[in-house]
Every structure is written in structure tokens, then in C-alpha cells.
Amino acid sequence: MKQARYLIPNDYMADPAVHVFNGKLYIYPSHDRESGIPENDNGDHFDMNDYHVFSMDDVEAGEATDHGVALSVADIPWAGRQLWDCDVAHKNGAYYLYFPLKDKNDIFRIGVATSNRPEGPFAPEKHPIPGSYSIDPAVFEENGKYYMYFGGIWGGQLQRYRGNKALQSACFPADHEPAICPKVALLSDDMLGFAEAPRDVLILDESGRPLAQGDTKRRFFEASWMHKYNGKYYFSYSTGDTHLLCYAVGDSPYGAFTYQGVILTPVVGWTTHHAIVEFKGKWYLFHHDCVPSQGKTWLRSLKVVALEYSADGAIKTIPGKI
């Protein structure tokens, strides 16, 4: 696959999480829609109210099958608004959909919904995960342990917390201070909560110093993803207002991770978001852009492109605009 291709031409889908379950590829995107809310820095215009699940047998040329609505805001007892980027994990025949949603006080929390099928429908728990906050859950499984990465600044509200406690008001570090970190927590055996207090995911520069808040072309903004390649853990994320997808590599799912480089240069649109997955012996980058909506930042379309590594394990940078 030389060129990126659009996967769902008839609807606006974004923020892909992608997994292989039972030999099939499943895509869990956000479902963008036009709700008329004006664009602002809080992301109020990303006013999504349901999820669809898609599956594919062939990434190179096949169609994505739409399995219909898997979960709606209307079915979530604690819901306020805005279903943002979700992810799904599989354990012992059950599938767990993790989703960020603002509660009735307009605070992002992370919820969980369960199904016995990868395509859902998913039944939500009555309450969000205790101790959860912010957005963009991404779950990585290894040896029966499930790690949830999460967090996002600005509209994702991560700047309102320190040490897992809510602050009186949002607080950003000064430009020279260590950047706000994404979080990681082991999930409990029943997959419905955290087994530990969320920890900081440290992203270091080449000298071993934490990236600074003012280092906006490298510091974390949102959209965590984790994959393993050749024994190394690759933590990837979006730099938000500088519109890059980057990655950092470490020796443990907890990090620390050392910044390596850019996976995807800016796309048409504001947000950039991704999943990296191996399927049938090839690696792929799933992401989104706003070309089909002619640049409407809240109406994004899903794409896939081949992802390649150099012999030393470096990811080859992919151009976001062609």
C-alpha cells in the first residue's frame, strides 16, 4: 500500500483505535457529526453522540463493514455530552469498550461498557471508572496485564489535575518546566476499574531530561497509543497545536520513554490521531484528516497507510498531506 486510502467514504469517522480479534481487524472510531456548535479551544464542536464499530478482512483493498451503533450517549446513565476517542480490550471472551465522556458537570471521565462480541452492542456501567479523568483511553495488553494510557490537555482537561487530584483551576507549567504527562494505570482483574493510582508517563529528550512544556513540537498533547516492536515499547501521541504524531521508545509499558521522532506530519484539519497495528504480517497507521469535508476540523475521515521501520527500529516519517 503506497498511498493512504480512505476507509469509510460515506460517514465522518475519526480517532481510530484498531485491534485484531479472532483473525479480523476491528476499528473503533469516534463518530463525527455536524451539530452546529461553533469551533473553540475547548473542542465543544466535537459533539459526538454515538460509536459505530467497523471490521475488515483485508486492509489493502477490502471494504470496512459497518456493524451499526455500538453505544449511544442516550444509553449512558451518567452522560453529559461528547463521546470522544475510545478503545476496546478483550479478556476471557468479553470485550470492554473504554470511552471518555463529559459527565453532567461537564467534567471528562472515562467510562466502560461491555459486550460478548467485538462489534457490540456494548452495555455501559452505571458510573464512570472511579478515579478516572481526562480523555483518550488506549489499552495495551501484555501477558494478561492490561495497561490504560490516557489524557489530553486543553479541551481534554488534563491541566486541571496534579497527582490524580483535581485542582481549583487549570494550571499549565511554565515553558521551561517539565511538560504535563500522559497517564498510565493497570486495569483491575474485572476490567472495570484501575488496579493502581495512575502514574505519569515520562517522555524524555535525548539527554534524559523530561520534555518541557514549551517544547510544543515534541511534548504530549493527546491521543496516546502503545505498540510493541522488536521487544521495545513504542508510546505514540499527538502534539496537538503543532499537529504532529510522534513517538518515544522505552523498555517497559510504564516507561520512561525517549523521544524518537515524527510518525506523521500535519494533516489537513486541526487534530491528528492514530492507531498502529500489525495485521497479516504488515504494519499499518490508521489516522484521520479533513480533506473530504474540505477542512471542517470537526468532520474527519478515516484513513490507513502502510507503516515502515528502518533496520534500527526507527519509524519512517509519513507525509500527512500529499
Residues near ligand FUB (CB under 6 A): 14-15, 30, 46, 84-85, 135-136, 152, 222-223, 271, 273
Alpha-carbon dihedral 212, 217, 219, 223, rounded to 10 degrees: 170
Report the half-sphere exposure of 123 (CA within 13 A, side-chain side): 4
Residue placing its CB nearer to ligand FUB in the complex, 46 or 146:
46
Marked catalytic residue, from 15, 32, 136, 200: 15
- 295 SS3 class: coil
Compute the Cα dihedral for 60, 65, 69, 70 and give only its sign: negative
Among left, alpha and beta (phi > 0; psi -120 to 50; other), residue 228 is beta
CB of 252 to ligand FUB, least distance (A): 24
Backbone phi, then psi, for 240, in 5-degree steps?
65, -100
Report the half-sphere exposure of 153 (CA within 13 A, side-chain side): 20
One-letter amino acid identity for 91? K
Of the candidates 291, 281, 286, 270, the one whose C-alpha atom is nearest the C-alpha of residue 222 is: 270
Residue placing its CB nearer to ligand FUB in the complex, 138 or 305:
138
CB of 233 to ligand FUB, least distance (A): 20
Residue placing its CB nearer to ligand FUB in the complex, 117 or 297:
297
Q: CA-to-CA distance for 186 and 117, rounded, in angstroms?
A: 23
Residue placing its CB nearer to ligand FUB in the complex, 24 or 297:
297
Q: CA-to-CA distance for 132 and 179, rounded, in angstroms?
A: 20
CB of 149 to ligand FUB, least distance (A): 12
CB of 257 to ligand FUB, least distance (A): 19
Could you confirm whether 15 is annotated as catalytic? yes
CB of 42 to ligand FUB, least distance (A): 11
CB-based contact 110:100 (threshold 8 Å): yes
CB of 5 to ligand FUB, least distance (A): 20
Q: CA-to-CA distance for 213 and 10, rounded, in angstroms?
A: 39
CB-based contact 95:122 (threshold 8 Å): yes
One-letter amino acid identity for 292? P
Residue placing its CB nearer to ligand FUB in the complex, 144 or 161:
161
- C-alpha cell read off for 142: 501484555
Q: CA-to-CA distance for 277 and 116, rounded, in angstroms?
A: 22
Marked catalytic residue, from 85, 87, 200, 222: 222
Could you confirm whether 222 is annotated as catalytic? yes
Residue placing its CB nearer to ligand FUB in the complex, 91 or 266:
266
Positions annotated as catalytic residues are: 15, 222
